[in-house]
Amino acid sequence: MDLTEIAVELDREGIGASAETLYGWGRSTHSEALVVRPTDKDTIRRVFELAEKHGVTVGFRGSGCSYGDASQNGDGVVLDLTNFAKVRSFDESTGLLVAEPGVTLEMIWRQCVPLGWWPPVVSGTMYPTLGGLLSMNVHGKNNWQVGTIGNHVRSFELMTPRGETLRCDREQNADVFHAAIGGFGMLGCFTEVELQLKKIWSGRLEVEAIATANLREMIAWFETNKDDFDYLVGWVDCFPRGTALGRGLIHAARYLGEGQDDQAKATMRESAQDLPSRILGVMPKNKVWYLMRPMLNDYGMRAINAAKFWSGKRGQTRNEPYKQPHAAFAFLLDYVPDWKKAYGPEGLIQYQTFVPKEAASDVHPRLLERCHKRHIVPYLGVYKRHRNDPFLMTHAVDGFSFAMDFRVTSSNRNELWQLCRDMDEIVTEAGGRLYFAKDATMLPRTAETIWGKETIERFHALKRRLDPNSRLQTNLARRVFPGWFSS
């Protein structure tokens, strides 16, 4: 493989390429790659041609918000699509958006909220690109109500490593449509996406906060009340044990209908959605991660979690809803920029499991117990409700997900990976799943149990058809599906 020759050829053609170290969002993994930042399809096609000529692999990257190694391609080329980012059209009467793959959720809501539209599904951060969102088939806090982002994609254009472009929708190339969404960048590059946005009548949601004494109570609350809300998310304090195991706070929200917000015009201004630039009104946000750093240990995080729980319990607003801008509700994790850096040099991993509804109140508390047994407690836990979807390599199930953030240190790394493998067994025995967007630890045999040989073979057959020389690779794909790449 000769990346230098590719860099020289690209340079001669006026296409910039640079050797860079790329990290996963959680900063627990990194690798070196030749990074190219195309702004159009011709450049992508040219990179594919050169990769073929030199026998080099190509991976895609959006904003790099996947926690693990999904958007890294060590010792290969990485096509960073963030500069291929124009909105081609937006029809304000129908809410249909046509955009290039580097357009982010942030660009979409900034343009569309004042026109009365909101992205139908959003992640907990506003920075992901359309290409990244489709490749992982991202879910939001409304997953059980509206499905994943793929459910709202009208069509897309995909460029294969042979330079062909395929238009895919539910009729045309339907097999590719259902596999490339959630296909972790293995079938081709999304070069255009048609997405249906959601009509809104206010810039705000009506929100209620509810404290729950433990995880089982949270699960029961979700099940009983889910039909009354559009969004549900549970924050879990992972430190207490016994009857308080998995205590937490639920935030449940509803859209406001037409005429329900007398300040609708003002709340739908872009500026009304902006997150505050200072924390507690005084501290500049971009310094906060630095101040958090001394607290990022078991003692500090136990105290912070307890303080959050008790202040949330005091302020719970069941039956006294309050109003909150869409962006503030959806992108809580963006309040403190770079908060991941507070985790220190080895970063963090997120371990998110999706478990069928019948098994969740057994499996998820057991996972927490397992963490305590191994003395590695997640510093953040997030709970959500999901539903099935028609995408081939989907992560979602009709059930619940529990996302746990673990600090990685040089001394806990092996033990933490072992803990994840113990938890893999508990989850897969119950018919649960993991999620490529968050993953850093999955083993090939775990993937085989989750998706099954037949589904994986169907996906691989499509990959062989669209990418016969296995040009498209990432560190995650080589780790989880090594058989696809062994010659």
Interface with ligand FAD (CB under 6 A): 25, 59-66, 70-71, 81, 101, 123-125, 128-129, 131-133, 135-136, 138-140, 184-185, 189-190, 333, 437, 474
> In the chain, how long is the greatest CA-to-CA distance?
66
Tokens 């690779």 sit on residue: 473
Region of 253 please: left (phi>0), alpha (psi -120 to 50) or beta.
beta
The number of residues in the chain equals: 487
Closer to ligand FAD by Cβ: residue 66 or 449: 66
Closer to ligand FAD by Cβ: residue 81 or 397: 81
Closer to ligand FAD by Cβ: residue 4 or 18: 18
Supply angle C-alpha 116, 120, 123, rounded to 5.
120
Q: How far is the CB of 83 from ligand FAD (least distance, A)?
A: 12
Q: How far is the CB of 135 from ligand FAD (least distance, A)?
A: 3
Using CB atoms within 10 Å of the CB of residue 345, give its burial: 0 to 12 exposed, 13 to 18 middle, 19+ buried.
exposed
Closer to ligand FAD by Cβ: residue 121 or 360: 121
Q: How far is the CB of 8 from ligand FAD (least distance, A)?
A: 25
> Of 341, 332, 340, 342, whose CA–CA distance to 300 is shortest?
342
Q: How far is the CB of 69 from ligand FAD (least distance, A)?
A: 9
Q: How far is the CB of 155 from ligand FAD (least distance, A)?
A: 15
Task: Let me know: does 192 contact 157? Beta carbons within 8 Å.
Answer: yes
Q: Please, which contacts does 271-275 make with residues 24 or more away whose CB atoms are closer than 8 Å? A: 272/203, 272/325, 273/109, 273/110, 273/113, 273/203, 273/325, 273/326, 273/327, 273/328, 274/327, 275/327, 275/328, 275/331, 275/334, 275/335
Please enumerate in sequence order all residues whose Cβ is within 8 A of that of 227, keeping only pairs 6 or more positions apart, or say none: none
Closer to ligand FAD by Cβ: residue 128 or 161: 128
- The DSSP call for residue 459 is H
Q: How far is the CB of 132 from ligand FAD (least distance, A)?
A: 2
Please enumerate in sequence order all residues whose Cβ is within 8 A of that of 153, keeping only pairs 6 or more positions apart, or say none: 134, 181, 193, 194, 195, 196
Q: How far is the CB of 435 from ligand FAD (least distance, A)?
A: 7
450: three-class secondary structure by DSSP: helix
Please enumerate in sequence order all residues whose Cβ is within 8 A of that of 35, keeping only pairs 6 or more positions apart, or say none: 17, 18, 19, 20, 22, 61, 77, 78, 80
Closer to ligand FAD by Cβ: residue 184 or 221: 184
351: three-class secondary structure by DSSP: strand
Closer to ligand FAD by Cβ: residue 309 or 435: 435
Q: Which residues pair with 204 in a beta bridge?
A: 325
Q: How far is the CB of 187 from ligand FAD (least distance, A)?
A: 8
Closer to ligand FAD by Cβ: residue 424 or 467: 467
Name the residue type at position 460.
Answer: H
Q: How far is the CB of 457 from ligand FAD (least distance, A)?
A: 20
Closer to ligand FAD by Cβ: residue 60 or 222: 60
Q: How far is the CB of 459 from ligand FAD (least distance, A)?
A: 14
Torsion of the alpha carbons at 124, 70, 137 and 93, rounded to the nearest 10: 70
Sequential DSSP letters for 185-254? T-S-EEEEEEEEPEE-S-SEEEEEEEEESSHHHHHHHHHHHGGG-SEEEEEE--S--GGGTT-EEEEEEE
Q: How far is the CB of 171 from ligand FAD (least distance, A)?
A: 21
Closer to ligand FAD by Cβ: residue 184 or 383: 184
- Alpha-carbon distance of 364 to 282, in angstroms, equals 39
Closer to ligand FAD by Cβ: residue 65 or 442: 65
Q: How far is the CB of 93 from ligand FAD (least distance, A)?
A: 28
Closer to ligand FAD by Cβ: residue 61 or 178: 61
